Amino acid sequence: MIAAFDVQYMEHRCAAAAVLFSSYRDPRPSLVCTKLLPVAADYIPGEFFRRELPCILGVYKAIRQGLDEIIVDGYVMLGDKPGLGRYLFESLDCKIPVIGVAKSTFKNSSGKEVYRGKSKRPLYITSAGIDLEEAADRILSMHGAYRIPTLLKQVDILARNEARQAL
């Protein structure tokens, strides 16, 4: 099973969401999971993991089945420095590969630019526990004709809706 995670923030809480699916080509998740949690830390550029990681781990713990791979909205590596995805990978004892899908570039970041659909703007792919080229191919193969794959868009909407309902 593959899980994609996303987090949305309110003033003092966050809404973390995950969509689970068995194939990168799936148009719909087989399971969704959301959780409202306290915000763990303020946002600090280059240290996004301090804010986001506790939220992702909170919803991860609510998932009652094993995961083969994880996708996060952000970077696994920030150049030579670990990013959110790397910290997640290490938090899970380096046993579950993590693919980072970022929508914007980060100074000194590395990875692979992937162009989906007719978009002129790339997604920035980084990975841990899986070859970068293979990770990029998996994101390219995801369902959807647009820049953002269908399931990644769905997990974003799920987290946003959960945040709105909590207000």
Using pLDDT thresholds of 50, 70 and 90, give the confidence band for residue 155: very high
Q: What is the mean pLDDT of residues 11-31?
A: 94
Q: What is the mean pLDDT of residues 22-32?
A: 97
- pLDDT tens track for 55-69: 999 999 999 889 999
> Which CATH architecture is the domain 2-166 placed in?
2-Layer Sandwich (3.30)
Closest CA to 75 of 28, 161, 135: 135
* pTM for the predicted model, two decimal places: 0.94
pLDDT of residue 147: 97
- pLDDT tens track for 63-112: 988 999 999 999 999 888 899 999 999 999 999 999 999 999 877 777 89
- Confirm if 140 and 110 have CB atoms less than 8 A apart: no
Report how far apart, in Å, the C-alpha atoms of 3 and of each of 20, 80, 103, 118, 140 are. Answer: 4, 26, 18, 26, 16
83 Cβ contact list (under 8 Å, min separation 6): 48, 49, 74, 75, 76, 77, 100, 106, 109, 126
């990681």: which residue's tokens? 53
- Confirm if 125 and 111 have CB atoms less than 8 A apart: yes
Given a cut of 70, whether residue 46 has pLDDT beyond it is no
